Chains A and B, each alone.
Chain A
Amino acid sequence: MTATQAVLDRVTRVPGVRGAVVVAAADGLVVAEQLMDGVDGQAAAALTASLVGRLVRTAEGAGMRPPAFVQLRGDGGSVLAAPGPQDLVLVAVVGPDANLGLARLEMIEAVGRLA
Chain B
Amino acid sequence: MRALEPWVVQPLETFLAESAARLTLLMTMSGQVVAQHGFSRSLDVMSAAALGAGIVASTEELARLMGASRFEALVHHGQRQSCMLAAFTTPRGRWIGLVVFGPETSVGIIRLFFDQMVQQLAAVAPREQTQPPMLAENFETELNASLKALFGR
What's the interface size class on B, roughly? under 10
Cβ contacts under 8 Å, A29 to chain B? 107-108, 111
Cβ contacts under 8 Å, A45 to chain B? 108
Which A residue sits closest to B107, measured CB to CB? A27
Does B58 sit within 8 A of A, measured CB to CB? no
Does A19 sit within 8 A of B, measured CB to CB? no
Does B109 sit within 8 A of A, measured CB to CB? yes
What's the interface size class on A, roughly? 10 to 19
Does B30 sit within 8 A of A, measured CB to CB? no
**Distance in Å: Cβ of A22 to nearest Cβ of chain B:** 13
Does A34 sit within 8 A of B, measured CB to CB? no
**Distance in Å: Cβ of A79 to nearest Cβ of chain B:** 14
* Sample (27) of A-B pairs whose CB atoms are under 8 Å apart: A23-B108, A26-B106, A27-B106, A27-B107, A27-B108, A28-B106, A28-B107, A28-B108, A28-B112, A29-B107, A42-B108, A42-B112, A42-B115, A45-B108, A46-B106, A46-B108, A46-B109, A46-B112, A47-B109, A47-B112, A49-B106, A49-B108, A50-B105, A50-B106, A50-B108, A50-B109, A53-B106
Enumerate the 10 nearest inter-chain pairs by beta-carbon distance, A residue then B residue, closest first.
Answer: A28-B108, A46-B108, A28-B106, A46-B112, A27-B107, A46-B109, A29-B108, A27-B108, A27-B106, A50-B109
